[in-house]
Amino acid sequence: MNIEYQTRIELAAAYRIVNKFKWDDVIFTHLSAKIPGTDTFLINEYGLRFDEVTASNLVKVDLQENVLDGGNINVAGFVIHSAIHQARPNAQCIIHTHTKEGVAVSADSRGLLPISQQSLIALQSLSYHDYQGITADAQEKEDLKVSLAKNNCLILRNHGLLTVGESIPAAFRSMYNLQRACEIQVLCDLNHVKLIPQDVIDNFQSRSELFSNSMPSLNLSWEALLRSLDNNYKL
């Protein structure tokens, strides 16, 4: 199996898993994956639901906004994904969502609070990006690069969530954790929530290798997710 086909299969599977978890927003969010060894990446065709995305109908584009193979793409989605692929060459995958819980936390002036183990994991590598309207211009591409910096999680204020990873499973694991942290926060009565003590937060970094994307659990969890897909799905 060549590397592009393998990437197409894995990215299509990620779209189906996002759909399974009900994190999609009809046709208005995106997952992208860089084809290793190239300056091109794959993204969904604009207009398709996530459960309609297949390996064969993913669109191949370059960083100069040229469609190399496939149908139409969403301009706003392209701006976000191309900006980050340019800034982070080692980030193979980018996942962007508009979940209710993610948007709710993104609109909270306090941001993500240290109230769960999931939040502490996300807070180790989390940035924020202020809302500037529909993402469609070159200036915001530069601002996104600055906002994300070297982190793997980005809360787009008043907009949603974004994660990056050196592989598709790594980006997905970061999104799963960030999304779950937001879900927990939205469920809490924040007037009575107990924040994790600062000394525990400070100590968490030294133990965070337990959740490293290099750990075998990353592949085990991704394989478990793949098994959850219907065997009849056409990827």
pLDDT tens for each residue of 116-133: 999 999 999 999 999 988
Is position 224 within any domain? Answer: yes
Give pLDDT tens digits for 4-46.
999 999 999 999 999 999 999 999 999 999 999 999 999 999 9
Return the pLDDT at 154.
98
Is position 235 within any domain? Answer: no
C-alpha to C-alpha distance for 147 and 141, rounded to whole angstroms? 10
Return the pLDDT at 205.
73
From the CB of residue 65, how many other CB atoms can be counted at a distance below 10 Å? 11
Low-confidence ranges of the chain (pLDDT < 70): 1, 136, 206-215, 231-235
Q: Could you tell me the CATH number of the domain that includes residue 16? A: 3.40.225.10
Return the pLDDT at 134.
78
Is position 126 within any domain? Answer: yes
Is position 133 within any domain? Answer: yes
Helix (H, G, I), strand (E, B) or coil at 163: strand
Contact 26, 18 (CB under 8 A): no
Q: In this structure, what DSSP letter does residue 50 have?
A: G
Is position 23 within any domain? Answer: yes
Is position 188 within any domain? Answer: yes
With both helix axes pointing from N to C terminus, report the angle between 3-20 and 216-228 in degrees, rounded to the nearest 10.
70
Is position 234 within any domain? Answer: no
- Counted domains in the chain: 1
For the chain, the residue count is 235
Return the pLDDT at 49.
96
Return the pLDDT at 56.
95
Return the pLDDT at 147.
94
> Which uninterrupted H or E stretch holds 156?
strand 153-156
Helix (H, G, I), strand (E, B) or coil at 212: coil
Which range of residues forms the domain containing residue 192?
A: 3-228
Return the pLDDT at 215.
64
Return the pLDDT at 72.
86
